[in-house]
Each structure stands twice: as structure tokens, then as C-alpha cells.
Amino acid sequence: MDYEQYFVGWGTLSLINAGLAQGKNRSGLNWFLISLLLGPIATFLIVVLDKK
């Protein structure tokens, strides 16, 4: 299995989550770091949580 593609996809998702978080007036850096750990779960949390 090619793990390089997995890491690139996970990193891309983290960047997308950072942009989503900034759109909701949240810290992009914090959510980027959270996304590195939680991945799709972080995406779900960003979408579900209300704007600040």
C-alpha cells in the first residue's frame, strides 16, 4: 500500500478544515492541528459547530 498518498490526502483535508474554520471565525491554525489528529471527525465538528 502506498502510504504517501494517504499522508498527502490527510494533509490536504487539514488545510481544507483550516479554511472552513476561518470561515466560521475560528482559529485556522488550531483547527489545522486538530485535523492532523482527528481528520474527518474534525471536519464534522467544524460543520456542526455554530459560528463564533
pLDDT higher than 80, residue 39:
yes
pTM assigned to the model:
0.87
Categorize the per-residue pLDDT at 1 as very low, low, confident or very high, splitting at 50, 70 and 90: low
Place of cell 481544507: 16
Local structure of residue 26 (DSSP, 8 states)? S
pLDDT higher than threshold 80 for residue 7? yes
User: What is the Cα–Cα distance from 28 to 1, expressed in whole angstroms?
Assistant: 31
What is the structure's pLDDT at 52?
73
4-35 in b/e form (b: 16+ CB < 10 A) is: eeeeeeeeebbeebbebbeeeebeeeebbebb
Residue 17 gets the label, from left (phi > 0), alpha (psi -120 to 50) or beta, of alpha
Give per-residue pLDDT as tens, 13-33: 999 999 999 999 999 999 999
